[in-house]
């Protein structure tokens, strides 16, 4: 078995396998192919991991099929114990996992540990309480009926690079709780977290074949998963174009169940009765978190015209006052890490240039930051609704601030988007918060905050942000199918 080592900030070496996890063993690709992994900090190669082929996907499917009968029959209490044990191990190795996300995904160590890893363990513990798959009892004429929620069988999850561990667990926890077996296709730009996670899955005692982990290119492993005739359910988080390709492949193969969590261009609406300091804090965080590499980013900020000038002045002052120490995400001194890759950096810079060319005013930022692939937090004002930077998802630390006068006006502007993932509303008026929440065409609305993630609340979008839900009890519905059983009571036999 081949390994690679990752150095922590204090010089400790984290040793992780580089193979594909199939049947609880780390093995090379069937062709010996590998993927080079590069550091976002200095763009140097840091590892090579096995790159899965269609043959490897099929091997993982066969492993899952072999494990499925026993796993779906495993008592709910036992499945719960496995999930809880994995949560324990993730918490035990939180520093290692945060280090790995910093090294290959460019996520700040402190942010990864406090948010991503905590959320992952919380999600596992939540779904560990929901392993019993309750159905419903129903009355019918001359008898009775009931429903059963049953696992699909062999399922798959394709996860992104921006919050890889957290989103992996969003899919793993309900899938496994429901009695499915799961193949995880990890992001080729940042797969090392999953190599460590695979070690923890084996240590937790999951039976061989219940969880298989494959790193691979989208056009190879991803395509093979989407087209495989024996995979019954696929959950994908990523870009819209890839989501469409997955839907087409599912339709052309076995009509597998698909759930998609895609892009966003989310509005944050600040009314003139809002607590201004609170609104400033959350809109600033919500428009720049994780370098803007967040699908639910609050990148369209709308401020009521009576407080617009004050808000913009204060927003700029806060940005200017806060120190930005860009550099290695492992360092406690670093407040801003790199974006994920050179192509992503170039894409963000093209959008910033487009905003300038279309006549928007740069309130602050607007440039690359130092050497490497760092980007200044950038905010535009004096924007029009038809501007590219207002309409398209950038997936970087770029936001716009626009004014509005009336409630109906801002609702129309907020809804004038092909996306519908997330929104935030800032107001002290509870009735207004209810009206606007009801009117917004999004999957999640947060009042007087932004982007709160809770294991028990469903997350997902509408329109071109996708369909289906991660988290909450609703997630179990996505990983189970309903069977109806009807009993007809026969009349007593005549003697």
Region at 427 (left for phi over 0; alpha for psi -120 to 50; beta for the rest)? beta
Token duo for residue 13 = 């070496």
For residue 456, being part of any structural domain is answered with no
Task: Read off the pLDDT of each residue in 292-300 and give the average, rounded to a whole number.
Answer: 97
State whether 407 and 442 are in the same domain: yes
State whether 278 and 415 are in the same domain: yes
Q: Is 36 a catalytic residue?
A: no
State whether 331 and 286 are in the same domain: yes
Confidence grade of residue 493 (pLDDT, cut at 50, 70, 90): low
Nearest to 177 by CA among 77, 88, 67: 77
Which of the following is catalytic: 261, 357, 392, 478? 261
pLDDT at 305 > cutoff 80: yes
Nearest to 176 by CA among 248, 80, 265: 80
pLDDT at 11: 86
Total domains in the chain come to 2
For residue 426, being part of any structural domain is answered with yes
pLDDT at 492 > cutoff 80: no
State whether 257 and 206 are in the same domain: yes
CA gap 256, 96 in Å, rounded: 36
State whether 338 and 440 are in the same domain: yes
CA gap 494, 353 in Å, rounded: 87
pLDDT at 100: 98
399-419 pLDDT, tens digit per residue, is 999 999 999 999 999 999 999
What is the domain-level CATH number for residue 147?
3.40.605.10
User: What is the average pLDDT score of the chain?
Assistant: 97
Nearest to 263 by CA among 419, 143, 397: 419
The alpha-carbon radius of gyration of the chain (Å, integer) is 24
152-179 pLDDT, tens digit per residue, is 999 999 999 999 999 999 999 999 999 9
For residue 285, being part of any structural domain is answered with yes
State whether 253 and 342 are in the same domain: no
CA gap 158, 154 in Å, rounded: 14
CA gap 135, 131 in Å, rounded: 12
Q: Which of 1-5, 81-85, 186-190 has the lowest average pLDDT?
A: 1-5
For residue 180, being part of any structural domain is answered with yes
Q: Which residues contact 361 (CB under 8 A, 6 or more apart)?
A: 380, 381, 382
State whether 298 and 241 are in the same domain: no
CB 18 within 8 A of CB 195: yes
Confidence grade of residue 323 (pLDDT, cut at 50, 70, 90): low
pLDDT at 141 > cutoff 70: yes
Number of H helices, E strands in the chain: 16, 22
pLDDT at 490 > cutoff 90: no
Domain final residue pick, 202, 229, 262: 262
Confidence grade of residue 134 (pLDDT, cut at 50, 70, 90): confident
State whether 193 and 295 are in the same domain: no
Q: How far is CA 423 from the centre of its chain?
A: 16
pLDDT at 495 > cutoff 80: no
pLDDT at 246 > cutoff 90: yes
State whether 87 and 131 are in the same domain: yes
pLDDT at 60: 99
Phi, psi of 186 (to 5 degrees): -90, 160
For residue 171, being part of any structural domain is answered with yes
State whether 371 and 394 are in the same domain: yes
106-128 pLDDT, tens digit per residue, is 999 999 999 999 999 999 999 99
State whether 281 and 170 are in the same domain: no
For residue 489, being part of any structural domain is answered with no
State whether 376 and 255 are in the same domain: no
Nearest to 311 by CA among 421, 319, 231, 96: 319
pLDDT at 494 > cutoff 90: no
**pLDDT cut 90: percent of the chain above it:** 94
For residue 460, being part of any structural domain is answered with no
Look up the domain containing 417 and give its range: 267-447
pLDDT at 254: 98
For residue 472, being part of any structural domain is answered with no
CA gap 343, 326 in Å, rounded: 19
pTM: 0.96
CB 253 within 8 A of CB 294: no
How many residues are recorded in the chain?
A: 495
Tokens 């929104």 found at: 423
Domain final residue pick, 413, 432, 447: 447
**pLDDT cut 70: percent of the chain above it:** 99
What is the domain-level CATH number for residue 341?
3.40.309.10
């Amino acid at each position: 078995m081949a390994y690679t080592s990752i150095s922590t900030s204090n010089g400790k070496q984290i040793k992780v396998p580089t193979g594909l996890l199939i049947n609880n063993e780390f093995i090379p690709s069937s062709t010996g192919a590998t993927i080079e992994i590069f550091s976002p900090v200095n763009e140097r190669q840091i590892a090579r991991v096995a790159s899965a082929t269609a043959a490897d996907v099929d091997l993982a499917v066969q492993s899952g099929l072999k494990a499925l009968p026993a796993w779906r029959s495993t008592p709910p209490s036992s499945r719960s114990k496995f999930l809880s044990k994995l949560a324990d191990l993730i918490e035990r190795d939180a520093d290692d996992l945060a280090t790995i996300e910093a090294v290959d995904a460019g996520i700040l160590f402190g942010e990864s540990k406090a948010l991503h890893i905590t959320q992952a363990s919380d999600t596992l513990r939540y779904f560990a309480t929901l392993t019993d798959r309750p159905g419903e009892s129903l009355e019918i004429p001359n008898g009775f009926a009931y429903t059963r929620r049953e696992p699909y069988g062999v399922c798959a999850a394709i996860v992104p690079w921006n919050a890889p561990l957290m989103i992996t667990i969003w899919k793993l926890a309900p899938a496994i709780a429901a009695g499915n077996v799961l193949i995880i296709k990890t992001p080729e730009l940042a797969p090392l977290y999953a190599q460590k996670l695979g070690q923890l899955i084996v240590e937790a005692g999951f039976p061989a074949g219940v969880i298989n982990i494959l790193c691979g290119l989208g056009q190879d492993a991803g395509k093979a998963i989407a087209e495989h005739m024996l995979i019954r359910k696929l959950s994908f988080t990523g870009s819209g174009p890839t989501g469409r390709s997955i839907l087409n492949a599912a339709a052309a193969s076995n009509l597998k169940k698909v759930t998609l969590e895609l892009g966003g261009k989310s509005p944050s609406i600040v009314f003139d009765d809002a607590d201004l300091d609170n609104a400033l804090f959350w809109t600033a965080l919500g428009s720049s978190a994780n370098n803007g590499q967040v699908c639910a980013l609050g990148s369209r900020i709308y401020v009521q015209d009576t407080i617009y000038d004050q808000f913009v002045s204060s927003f700029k002052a806060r940005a200017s006052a806060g120190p930005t120490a860009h550099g290695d995400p492992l360092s406690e001194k670093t407040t801003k890490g790199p974006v994920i890759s050179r192509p992503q950096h170039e894409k963000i810079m093209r959008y910033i240039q487009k905003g300038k060319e279309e006549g928007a005013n740069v309130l602050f930022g607007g440039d690359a930051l130092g050497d490497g692939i760092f980007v200044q937090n950038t905010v535009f004002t004096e924007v029009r609704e038809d501007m590219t930077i207002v309409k398209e998802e950038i997936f970087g630390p770029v936001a716009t601030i626009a004014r509005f006068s009336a409630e109906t006006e801002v609702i129309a502007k907020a809804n004038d988007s092909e996306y519908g993932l997330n929104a935030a509303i800032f107001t002290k008026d509870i009735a207004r918060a209810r009206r606007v929440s009801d009117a917004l065409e999004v999957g999640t609305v947060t009042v007087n905050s932004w982007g709160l993630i809770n294991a028990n609340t469903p997350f997902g979008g509408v329109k071109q942000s996708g369909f289906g839900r991660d988290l909450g009890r609703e997630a179990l519905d996505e990983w189970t199918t309903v069977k109806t059983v009807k009993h007809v009571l026969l009349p007593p036999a005549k003697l």
